[in-house]
Amino acid sequence: MESISRINLPTVDSTNTFLREMLAEEGTGVVQSARSLPGFTLVVADEQTQGRGQQGNSWETERGKNLIFSLLCHPDFIPPPRQFLLSQCMALAIAQTLSQYVKEVTVKWPNDIYVGEEKISGTLIECDLQGKRIANCIIGVGININQTHFRSDAPNPTSLQLLTGLTIDREAVLSEVLRHFQHLYELLRQGGTDEVRLLYKTHLYRREGVHRYSDVRGEFWAEIADVEPTGHLLLRFESGTVVRYAFKEVQFLKD
């Protein structure tokens, strides 16, 4: 396993932004080479004031209650069209870790983590491409650990403490997430992409049955047919037609 260089911050606007600024050469804004920072670089914060989610969504967190971190890696062995594998690895690492505490943990496509019908974690991934390889990848993660009151208008947040009634050791959760991620990352390095993709599908939220969704044409019922290596979701309509969706092109609705 590669070494992890860790940086702890009491407060930061965004752990992803912090790492992005570390990668940029001062005064030039030019991204450094993939090996400018060692192995994995981890930034952990007690508070994040401008946390970001997918497609510009925000991530609410109470100071010192949850896990907020970003991990920088250099997956130059993964072709750019397959960068969704990194998203799958982190989603699986979080799901496998949280399953040690609670039941019914699933990955809601593309990489939110749900317990039952409630969201407990989100991930934002940003990759830098250099030619035909991924030079740098920053994986930002928020996991609700000990927060019990949520002020935002997010419809369904939860936390480990709400689910278990216990105060959970954040460091223990982080250590397990990193352990699982490094195992899956190494599996990818050794060519185990099919194994990672299969594992992801077995953890998928709504992996079985027909459920309600909506797109630009309105509401419909469908079942998950597949998730492509590119990260696109394939939904099979009741008519048998299969439709391909990119991120944010389809909404999951309550049945």
Q: Write the CB contacts of 99 (distance below 8 Å, at least 6 apart in sequence).
A: 105
Instruction: Number of helices (H) and strands (E) in the chain: give both, helices first.
Output: 5, 12
Helix (H) or strand (E) holding 215: strand 211-215
Give the whole-angstrom CA distance, residue 160 versus residue 139. 21
Give the whole-angstrom CA distance, residue 15 versus residue 49. 10
**In the structure encoding, which two tokens stand for residue 188, read together?**
């990818």
Q: Across residues 18-35, what is the average pLDDT?
A: 62
Q: Across residues 28-57, what is the average pLDDT?
A: 65
Tokens 């991934």 correspond to 125
Mean pLDDT over all residues of the chain?
Answer: 90
Question: Under CATH, to which class is 211-252 assigned?
Answer: mainly beta
C-alpha 106 chain-centroid distance: 12
Query: What is the fold, at CATH topology level, of the domain defined by 4-202?
Result: BirA Bifunctional Protein; domain 2 (3.30.930)
Spatial contact of 145 and 160, defined as CB atoms under 8 Å apart: yes
Strand order in the sheet with 4-12: 4-12, 40-48, 67-73, 133-143, 118-130, 112-115, 105-108
The structural domains of the chain, with segments of one domain joined by +, span: 4-202, 211-252
pLDDT tens digits, 74-129: 999 999 999 999 999 999 999 999 999 999 999 999 999 999 999 999 999 999 99
pLDDT tens digits, 174-202: 999 999 999 999 999 999 999 999 999 99
> Which residues lie across from 157 on neighbouring strands?
119
pTM (2 decimals)?
0.92
Half-sphere exposure of residue 236, counting CA atoms within 13 Å on the CB side? 11
> Which residues lie across from 45 on neighbouring strands?
9, 68
Give the whole-angstrom CA distance, residue 205 versus residue 109. 7
Q: Across residues 41-64, what is the average pLDDT?
A: 74
- If one counts every other C-beta atom within 10 angstroms of the C-beta of residue 126, the result is 16
**In the structure encoding, which two tokens stand for residue 227, read together?**
């998730």
- If one counts every other C-beta atom within 10 angstroms of the C-beta of residue 80, the result is 13
